[in-house]
């Protein structure tokens, strides 16, 4: 349950950090520093890495072997991300 709470706070932080530039006079502690410095927004990505590193051993163990459908899902998600990035670089959507 604590991992889910951490995940929820991390998603909340991600939403707040992404929307900070659309809010007039927003929270100063969510703005990324120009070069030197550190803010709360800089903790979002490392927090996601920690969550993934903690969740994988909980989801896969000796009693629950890795299934073929899960491996196929990983490769499909990677392929979708790769194609979307390729299309973005070719057609310059951003």
By annotation, the residues acting in catalysis are 32
The gap from C-alpha 31 to its chain's centroid, in whole angstroms, comes to 18
Q: Please, which contacts does 53-59 make with residues 24 or more away whose CB atoms are closer than 8 Å?
A: 54/3, 55/3, 58/3
Distance CA 14, CA 18 (A): 6
Distance CA 33, CA 18 (A): 14
């Amino acid at each position: 349950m604590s991992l889910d709470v951490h995940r929820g706070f991390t998603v909340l932080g991600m939403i707040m950090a992404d929307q900070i530039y659309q809010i007039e006079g927003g929270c100063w502690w969510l703005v990324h520093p120009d070069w030197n410095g550190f803010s709360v927004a800089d903790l979002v990505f490392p927090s996601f890495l920690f969550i993934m590193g903690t969740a994988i051993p909980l989801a896969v163990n000796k009693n629950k072997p890795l299934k073929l459908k899960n491996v196929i899902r990983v490769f499909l998600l990677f392929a979708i991300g790769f194609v979307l990035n390729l299309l973005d670089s070719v057609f310059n959507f951003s």
